[in-house]
Structures are given as structure tokens and as C-alpha cells.
Structure 1
């Protein structure tokens, strides 16, 4: 069987770690699977249908948001995750965070991946942030399919009311006891990873997490840039503010792609990475399959690598 590109990258990194690190257990780390793009897009289609059936959006306090939570929760429950719905109040409406834990792994070392699930009221929010939400959902389902036995504990989260100022993630962090916060060895954030005129941006907040993503993209021969457009504007911020190591990926929002970036990544210079940012046209047509596929595979690569999957 031919190994996928992410699998080859994973095996190469495992070999490098085994050769250079005093702890040879890295040699037993499993390579991440390739995440089926069709599955990720199917989740986006479902989120689009949910928005269409509920006033055209999936915003906080609207029926479309709760329906989105229920869709994701149903998939995770069926896959063997332990799910918890956390309620909070924002702008006079009840909000919801969905937390999913994979059984096993060292509960004193938690690798957590998160994405906000809400849209703005203007539209369905398929890139912002159906893309991140669908990618981590499919990664979680891949964990289940593999019956993964990671060294560290795996946790996934879908946040509410991000568009109102990171309300859901801040509520989670603020209500997490200090001892529990200390157990999170890394929080990975995925917000807008399928932009139609994409860039490949990596958070530079934690060197280990940053290098993990850079290694993945180096294996594909794709250059990356440090992410600056979203600094403090997404759900990693509450974690970072209390000292949790954070990292993540981003494909760009309303900043304009430069000529140098277009030469490096393709696409169109002088145009926003996502012309439909926070607009009604953020639909399933507002997605780069290439960016979504690459970034979804990068999510899985990071989860497998950072958790010591076996």
C-alpha cells in the first residue's frame, strides 16, 4: 500500500526524533492518516443545510447554532467520544460549547484542538468557521476509526459566540480550575482554513507546536508565513492569556494577498484571502479544496505527532 504524503512526512519526523532525542519512544509514533477531503466537505454541506433551514445563519442565540452543535455531537457520540455541552450566557441568549474527550491517554497531559462553530448573522459561515470545525471533527472521527491509543489525552472543542468576542472559549478557560489548565500541554486553534484565495499561515506562539506545523508543510514543499492577521482575534487567545502553549493554522481573512504571496502560493494578488469574510457569500462555494485538504491533513498530523499516538 502506498503511503500518503502526510504518512511519509510523519514517518520521516518520527525517524528524525528517534535519532536526535534521548527518548527513543518517538520511533513508535504512528503516522497520521490522510483525512478524506470528501468527508470534511460533507460536514460543510450539512452545516450549510442547517443554516438554510434556520434563517440563513448559525449565529449565537439562533436555532442554526444549536442545530450545528447537535450535528457535531451526534457524530462524536456515535464514534465513542465522551461529550459535554457547556452552557453560558452572552447578549441575553444561551450559548453552548461542545467538548469531546477521547478515552485514554495521560489525563495530566492534554492535547486540545478547537474551532469556533458559530457564524455571524450575515450568512452560513462556511469558511468562517465551518472549515476549522469540519476539519477537527473529521480528525476526531479518524482518531476513532484508528482506535488511537495516544500517550497524551486528546480533547476536542467547538466554541460558541466567538464572533461576539471569544465568549465561549473565554468562559471555558475562566471556569477551568488552575490545576486543570496546567494539564493542557497544548491548545491548537483552527479558524478559517479553507479560504478561497489562501495563504498558509502558522501561529508562532509556541515553538514546539509551530515547528510541528512547519515540518508538515516542509514535507509538502510549501512555504509558510507567521500568522499575524488573527493575533488575539480567535479562540487561542484566552488559553494563551493564562499560560497554555498555543498554536494553529490560518488561511487568511480580509487582508490582501501580496504579489510575493501570490508568487509563492498561487491565487490572485491584490485580492483578499477571503472576499466573503463575514458576508452572506461565505457559502460552500467560498472554499479552496486544496487549502482545506492540506490544512485538514495538517490538523491530523499535529494531533498524532503531539499526542504520541500509537
Structure 2
């Protein structure tokens, strides 16, 4: 006898139910519908080293037009502040120039905030902009200043919308005992200090006989930089030569997590380091440290490129 479709369906349902009740048939457990994965954070863009070098050329020109340096209290320093501020204002940052006094001379800090992000979680990146009086200060510290500037401009070009609020800063009178950054940190209330989730410092990142040094003051920030260089196949070492000698110390002393990069100053590269990094053993990392020859000729392009990209990577990752 041929059963109609409705009768066949009913008999199948009754038979299945009877088998389940008797324990002769085990039905598979229901599974939840798959949920879509969270989108991965966007990767940082490449920072064009030619653009960073163009800023260094401008800083050298400023020094040449103002007595050969960009030191605290000298006209070359204020002209450097004006150059950076103009770039940042045009890119949509909210900028402020804070005056302070050190050694009887007026100094300036430049602070630039990118709109948006949680202002209870502020990620800062900074570099000192002043040179010593004996030269234009292109590696020390035009290199860090220019790379931080170009990273900030990349934030604008990409219209980055980070979870954390981004703040960039350029400090005056670092060469006079970190006067600019100490003034800034001391001006913050305890509440405002507690809102800074991390401060990243970049001082001398294009040394001509470069090492690749990473600050070890905060494990999470340190890991971001070490992992980045490991991905390039570039070994790193813990930074010890400049401990406490740059602006991160002002933040660290206030209990703020810090990190950063460094390619070496006047200390001598060892044979082991030369083998690891392809440098010259027995020579300083920067033979022109605090000298008149610290010009645009005193920069290793590869180190400047790698470190500039590492800055952007850290900003993108730590602010997401």
C-alpha cells in the first residue's frame, strides 16, 4: 500500500519519538549558531623614511639659520617648535605650547592631542626636541622628534579611531636635566597622571653605528617592541646606556608605565654587538654624540626606517 506524504511524515515522527524514549536512539545535542569573529585591529601603515628624513632636513636648516644649533633658550629651538606645530595644526591635532623657565631662559613643550578615544586612558609618545649648543642635534634628538612627528601625521592620514586617547609631545630642555618633561609631569594632578596608560620615549633612533635597544621598564610595552623587531629578524638588547637620562624618567618617577627605543650614544659597540647588528666593533654607536658633526650625515637610514615603523606599530597596537 502506498502511503501519502503526510502519513509517512507522521509515522516517521512517531517512530523517532518512540526510539528516543526507549533509549535506542540518541539524538545529537543542539549546537549554538557560530558567532562572527571580532575584526582584527588594523595594522599600522609603513612610515616613509624619506618623509622622516625631510623633517630632519628642515631641522638642520633651522639650526643653520640660527647659529648652528637648536638648544634650549636659543632661537633655533623656538623655530623648531613652530615648524612642528604648523604641521600638526594642519593635520587636525589640537596643539598647545607650554612655556617654562630653566637656567634663566624660556623653554617650550609642544603637546598635540588627536581627537577622540577614551580620555581616561591616554597613550602618549614623545621625544626631546632640543639639541646641545655645540651642534644641530640631528640624531640627538631630531631623529626621535621627526619619527614621532611623522607617526602623528600618519594617524591623521589614516584617520585612526583608537580606543585610547592619543597624545604626542616634544620636550624642551632635556639636555638641561629633563627640565621640560619634568615640568609637564609635575603640572599634572594625580588624577590626570593616573589616566596615562603609557608613555613611549624615542631618543636617538638613527645612530650611524646603530644598536637596537628596547627599554625594559614595563613588560607589556617592552614585549610589543621586542616582538616587532623579532618579526624583522633583528635581535634586540635591553637599553642600559641611557637609563634615567631621557624624558621617560620623568614619567617613570611618577609611577607611569614607560617604554621606548634607542640606538646608542657615545658608548662603544662590542664585538658581539657588531656581529649581531652588522656594525663596527670598537667604535661608538654615535661618534658625533653632542658634537657639531651631528648633522643629517650622521644618520643610519635603515635604523631610522626600522625604528620609525616600530613607533607606528606600537601606537596602533597599544591604543587599540
TM-score, scaled relative to structure 2: 0.88
Q: Does 1:260 align with 2:269?
A: no
Structure with the bigger RCO (C-alpha within 8 Å, sep 6+) is: 1
The CA deviation at 1:267 is 1.3
What is residue 95 of structure 1 aligned with on the other side? 107
Q: Number of matched residues?
A: 285
Once the two structures are superposed, the pairs formed by residues 131-146 of structure 1 within 5 Å of their partners are 131-146=143-158
Stretch of structure 1 that moved more, 199-208 or 27-36 = 27-36
What secondary structure is seen at the aligned counterpart in 2 of 1:304? helix
2:223 counterpart (202, 211, 215): 211
What secondary structure is seen at the aligned counterpart in 1 of 2:63? helix
Q: Provide Cα deviations, 1:125-167, integer angstroms capped at 9, x if missing partner.
A: 0000000000000000000000000000000000000000000
What secondary structure is seen at the aligned counterpart in 2 of 1:305? helix
Q: CA 1:27–1:206 in structure 2 vs 1: closer, same or farther (change >3 Å)?
A: farther
What is residue 318 of structure 2 aligned with on the other side? 306
What is residue 169 of structure 1 aligned with on the other side? 181
1:197 counterpart (209, 233, 236): 209
Q: Does 1:70 align with 2:97?
A: no
- Separation in structure 2 between the aligned mates of residue 296 and residue 25 of structure 1, nearest angstrom: 31
- Separation in structure 2 between the aligned mates of residue 307 and residue 37 of structure 1, nearest angstrom: 23
- Separation in structure 2 between the aligned mates of residue 115 and residue 303 of structure 1, nearest angstrom: 14
1:273 counterpart (257, 261, 285): 285
2:257 counterpart (245, 250, 255): 245
Q: Does 1:152 align with 2:152?
A: no
The CA deviation at 1:28 is 2.7
What secondary structure is seen at the aligned counterpart in 1 of 2:287? coil
Structure 1 ranges of 4+ moved more than 6 A: none
Cα root mean square deviation, aligned: 1.0
- Separation in structure 2 between the aligned mates of residue 102 and residue 261 of structure 1, nearest angstrom: 38
TM-score, scaled relative to structure 1: 0.91
- Separation in structure 1 between the aligned mates of residue 56 and residue 110 of structure 2, nearest angstrom: 17
- Separation in structure 1 between the aligned mates of residue 272 and residue 64 of structure 2, nearest angstrom: 38
What is residue 22 of structure 2 aligned with on the other side? none
